[in-house]
Structure 1
Amino acid sequence: MIARSLRWRLLLAAAGAILLALALAWMFMTLLFERHLERRLEAEMTRDALALVAGLGFDANEVLHLERQPGDVRMEKPAGGYYWQVSSDAGVLRSRSLWDSALPVASDAPADDWRLQRRDGPFGQPVVALERRLVIDSDHPAVVVQLAQDAASLSTARGEFGRELAVFLSVLWCVLTAAAWMQVSVGLRPLRRIPALLETLERSAGERLPPQSLREVQPLVDSINALADARQKDLEQARRRASDLAHGLKTPLAALAAQSRKARQAGAPEAAQGMEQAISTIRLVVDGELARTRLARLGRTRGASADVGEVVERLASVIEHTEKGETLALGIDIPDGLRLPMEPEHLSEIMGALMENAARHARRQIRVAAIVDVDGVQLRVEDDGPGLPPERLQALQADRGQSLDASGYAGSGLGLLIARDLVRSSAGRLGFDTAPLGGLQVTIQWPPSPI
């Protein structure tokens, strides 16, 4: 899931980059802190070394002596951690802290400035040593002045600083990662609106995505709109061809109908009946294709409005004047003033197919009802006919091209399939179930409308 998520990829990349940057910051800040400690230590040791040099001198016997001892108590305690030593040809002076040990005298000690370096010290401990070669008296040879301090204090301070800095940077990493999450969420927010905008393209082939304020998102919107243009062009071309084909078949069908009548008049009723059945089936397919073409041209016109009660009443009046309709009780329960955002012709195509199908299979009763709630508008058409078994209802729901012939309904059932296509094109859903009357119940659900 993470590998296929752009959000998680961006977040993990940001968290990794922040972690790497903070790790490098920890390394360099720890190193800078150590250098700072060394500079402070060098300054303190240089001050003590100058005080030591100020007390050096030669007595009457040409022996090197120290007039004043440095005041640091660590130099008076054996192995105290702070040491000094002055080496010359006339002898060596060292602090009490060295006890029976000595600092190694470097032959290359500088004469122009103090030098600080790490080396092995007395008592097996590494030390930081400061040394310089000085001429105390022009009548005497130069001496090498050395001060050394245990390096353990530097390592301890560096370790404590590194641990505290690591805790701080860990907290900072969490804060920056949370900020990266917010940044990724804000950055991807315009993309979350794209699926909602694409629903408009799904409902109507003529809709297009509006221009976006972000330059990075606009190329995606332009590409989707270009694809929608190409899709609409292909659909229009396919519908034109289907319409042309359907219209082109009408004349041959009329000619075949005339031939079937001649065959019946010539004394071949069986051949005429076979031809008439074939012609009737083909005519149903042609009429269905023409109905789809008319719907595609109507579409969901902006500002259109259809009065549901008026359309249903008009269709009921037509059905009641048919031979089968005269024997049926047709109940209508539709709230007054209920309107849908579509052309009346569009709604007539849908309800006409459903009500005609119900009248064809009903025994004595048909009901047409409408329900309005927070989920939108729901229309129901039910009859007391033979209905469909559960397995056939499931097949009809799942199979887009399912015909009702095999379900036990007389007739072709093409009207229901046409109605389903019309409902889908108007952003509705069409469902099939067993009616309380015992027959088939067809339910249309439309989403909430501003009308």
Structure 2
Amino acid sequence: MPRSLRVRLLLSAAIAIFLALAAAWVVMTLLFERHVERRIEADLIREGLQLAAAVSVGPDGAPALEREPGDARFFEPASGLYWQVSTDKAALSSRSLWDQHLPPPVNATSSQWRKRVIDGPFNQQVLLVERYVRPERSGADVLIQLAHEQKSLHDAREEFGHELALFLAILWFILSAAAWIHVELGLRPLRHVRNEVETLKRNPRERMAAAHVAEIEPLTLAINELADAREKDLSRARRRAADLAHGLKTPLAALSAQSRRAREAGAVEAADGLDRAIAAARLAIESELARSRAAALRAAPSGDSTTALPLIESLIGVVERTEFGARLVFEVNIPEDLRLPVASEDLLEIAGALIENAARYARRRVRITGEAVEGGVLLVEDDGPGIGPDKVAEALLRGGRLDEAGSGHGLGLAIAHDLVDATRGTITLLRSELGGLKVAVAWPAATPVSRLS
């Protein structure tokens, strides 16, 4: 069974129409045959009434006719149209019977005409009508029989059946086309639902419009309710992740203070071990928070865009106040009207991770460039030690653990990679003209959702 609802509906409609027209062909063919048969029977009875009006019985009991029916087929031997008038003493018949005779009666009466289909003269199957009449009240009964061959009836039925089949075949194609139009019109509201779901996937803040079709309205309401619940769950998950990060800062700060006291007391080895444990805990927390953030973005991309320049300048203002950023020169080459297809909070994390990473390992300069290519491009370069080409290829093949790609550039690149991938962008590591690492982040152009009227 095909999975497509459209194909299922079209197949079922085509089969149902075919079966209905096939049944109509059988019934109409039988009706045509019965109609022609009744017309022949009526013609035979009319000729029989003419014979009854012209028949008489002689003194010897033999029948006599004042005049014979005028149909020319009665005078042509084996023509297929016959009459016979008979009594107990003798019989008269049409010339078309020649030396043949009609069979004796079976259920003939004097009250009405009886019909039957029999094997008649000249090995022909015939429709026979018969009746007794009494020309004189005190005279003998006369049997009047008329017969018409059935072959012409069967030929007419076959010819009618062939022509009707051709007509019904054309009608089947027309009705199938009408069914296709009917299915397309019936499924159009579902196409609207699909397009609106695509919009909902791009921006979870959107909601589906009220359906114009009563049968679709419960579906749209259910999808909107699901989107509301999903957005609440994502917001709750983000808040819990932020709460976890803030909640762990205090214990880690307390451990850092204990490490300093231990170092001041001369327990250098213990302090070093404690510092390594604290650093590992911080890395693990930041890594898991980044993965959670990326997973949330993949599940519900925002579909927003952000003006890049103000956000980048605010980030640089923060980094410049750090110990490693105060000694650097930041070059910003971003058009004022450049908008990147990322929500502001997502771009803040991506650009923040890249700029902080570059600032940590730059010697003197960090350059940030923005380009309006396709969806948008963000370049972050430094003049630090960089990453060797062999390590870059190895890191990209492993896909995601860029913090292992060489000395100097660590978790910031891993976080940026996850978030860029979650926002449907690509991240590439190159050699910068400044001598260090060049990180290129590119987003594809947004594909508009088609809306059909």
TM-score of Structure 1 vs Structure 2, range by shorter chain? 0.7 to 0.9
Q: Which amino acid is the alignment partner of residue 19 of structure 1? A: F
Contact 2:428-2:439 at 8 Å conserved across structures: yes
- Aligned partner of residue 19 in structure 1, secondary structure: helix
Q: Structure 1 stretch 89-98 or stretch 355-364: which is displaced more?
A: 355-364
Q: Deviations over 1:299-358 (max 9, x none)?
A: 9999x9743223223434555666655776755432332245777555333322222223
For 2:387, the aligned partner's letter is P
User: For structure 1, which segment, 134-143 or 219-228, has the greater mean C-alpha deviation from structure 2 after superposition?
Assistant: 219-228
State whether residues 81 and 97 of structure 1, in contact with CA within 8 Å, keep that contact through their aligned partners in structure 2: yes
Q: Is the 1:116–1:130 Cα contact (8 Å) retained in structure 2?
A: yes
| Cα 1:221–1:345 shift into 2, 3 Å | closer
Whether the aligned pair in 1 keeps the contact of 2:357 and 2:410 (CA below 8 Å) is no
2:426 partner letter: G
Which residue matches 1:162?
A: 161
Q: SS of the residue aligned with 1:389? A: helix
Q: Is residue 351 from structure 1 mapped to residue 351 from structure 2 by the alignment?
A: yes
SS class of match (2:369): strand
Distance 1:74-1:240 versus aligned 2 partners, 3 A rule:
same
1:390 counterpart = 2:385: no
Distance 1:271-1:102 versus aligned 2 partners, 3 A rule: same
- Give the structure 2 partner of residue 408 of structure 1: 406
The residue matched to 1:118 in structure 2 has which SS?
Answer: strand
Tell me, which stretches of 5 or more residues in structure 1 are unaligned?
A: 397-401
| Partner of residue 210, structure 1 | 209
Residues 350 and 434 (structure 1 numbering): CA distance in 2 closer, same or farther, change over 3 Å? closer
Partner of 2:426: 431
Distance 1:383 1:166 in 2: 82
Q: Deviations over 1:89-136 (max 9, x none)?
A: 231111111112111121321322222321111111111111111112
Q: Is the 8 A contact 2:85 2:93 kept in 1?
A: yes
Q: More deviation in 254-263 or 381-390?
A: 381-390
Residues 290, 418 of structure 2: 8 Å contact kept: no
Match of 2:425, SS state, is: strand
- Alpha carbons of 1:424 and 1:218: their partners in 2 closer, same or farther (altered >3 Å)? farther
Percent sequence identity is 49
| 2:128/2:146 contact within 8 Å kept | yes
C-alpha RMSD of matched pairs (Å): 3.3
Structure 2 Cα separation of the partners of residues 98 and 123 of structure 1: 9
- Secondary structure of 1:433's aligned partner: strand
Q: TM-score, normalised by structure 1?
A: 0.85
One-letter code aligned to 2:427: F
Structure 2 equivalent of residue 175 of structure 1: 174
Change (3 A) 1:344 1:234: closer
**Closer/same/farther in 2, CA of residues 165 and 184 from structure 1, 3 Å limit:** same
- In 1, the alpha carbon distance for the partners of 2:127 and 2:413 equals 96
CA contact (8 A) 1:103 1:122 kept: yes
Q: 1:331 to 1:131 in 2, by over 3 A?
A: farther
More divergent stretch after superposition (24-33 vs 271-280) = 271-280
Q: Which amino acid aligns with 1:386?
A: I
Secondary structure of 1:69 counterpart: coil
- Residues of 1 paired with 2:180 and 2:32: CA distance? 32
- C-alpha deviation, 1:239, in angstroms: 3.1
Cα gap change, 1:213 to 1:417, in 2 (>3 Å): farther
CA-to-partner distance for each residue in 1:400-427, whole Å, 9 max, x for gaps? xx332322243542x34444565577xx
- The answer to whether structure 1 residue 333 and structure 2 residue 320 are counterparts is no
Shift of 1:165: 0.7
Q: Indicate the SS of the match to 1:226.
A: helix
1:84-123 alignment runs, 5 A limit: 84-123=83-122
Flag the 1:190–1:111 CA change in 2: closer, same or farther, 3 A: same
Q: Measure, in 1, the Cα distance between the counterparts of 2:247 and 2:317.
A: 33
Partner AA of 1:410 in structure 2: G
- Point out the more displaced range, 60-69 or 200-209: 200-209
Q: Structure 2 regions of 5+ residues with no counterpart?
A: 449-453
Give the match for residue 17 of structure 2.
Answer: 18
